[in-house]
Amino acid sequence: QVQLAESGGNVVQSGRSLRLSCAASGFTFRSNAMHWVRQAPGKGLEWVAVISYDGSKKYYADPVKGRFTISRDNSKKTLYLQMNSLRAEDTAIYYCARDLWGDSSYGSPALIDWGQGTLVTVSS
Amino acid sequence: DIQMTQSPSSLSASVGDRATITCRASQTINKNLNWYQQKPGTAPKLLIYAASSLQSGVPSRFSASGSGTDFTLTISSLQPEDFATYYCQQTYTPPLTFGGGTKVEIK
């Protein structure tokens, strides 16, 4: 079965960097676009970023544009989120999620499988 | 960016009741709209994609409709396991914004 396992969450000071990983198994990783979605404590869902199946297309939410970078290593079946210049408002559980499609040219995105999330806490 | 507005933000209902949640987009998104369910302490789960397509394994008491700017999620007969928070998400264009959520509580 599909498994997505996030790691790398931690307590970090404002202004520092952190890299999250998402290890995938149970499906052909190189065939699907992948997303990061976050949820601040007690708040709703916030979409963060998406990367196409081959890494050629990347899109970001405005609050993280220029600070966060999504990437993937299809040989390692792993998704990454490099987070720089972290702020208190980046504190959240970060989920990785598998898209139904390889990229939006195949179909409208749908996040069909999710990991359990990893907690990032940014202290000021 | 496209803003997604859900209503109500919460609703109280009994087992067996019909529940309806609406989602409005700030501009037309055709049928590029998904619905998710999230229970406390767990990851979200996809219920509906492309406005009205039921994800595999999701009970048929869940249905959805809409296109353009106005969308609806309906639970025909609430079951105990349906008490959760529901989110819509537009996938018409990045950023792929979520609605604020609707918490369905037991009356």
Mapping DSSP to helix (H, G, I), strand (E, B) and coil, where does residue B59 land?
Answer: coil
| Cβ within 8 Å of residue B106, ≥6 positions away | B12, B13, B14, B15, B80, B83
| Cβ within 8 Å of residue A52, ≥6 positions away | A33, A58, A102, A103, A104
Residues of A (45-84) whose Cβ lies below 8 Å from B: 45-47, 50, 59-62
The residue behind tokens 């492309």 is B50
For residue A78, CA distances in Å to A49, A52, B15 come to 15, 13, 42
Report how far residue A52's alpha carbon sits from residue A56's, in angstroms, rounded to the nearest whole number. 6
A interface test, pick of B10, B28, B96 with most A CB neighbours within 10 Å: B96
Nearest to B98 among A44, A108, A109 (CB): A44
Q: What is the pLDDT of residues A10-55, one digit of tens each?
A: 999 999 999 999 999 999 999 999 999 999 999 999 999 999 999 9
Q: What is the pLDDT of residues B55-85, one digit of tens each?
A: 999 999 999 999 999 999 999 999 999 999 9
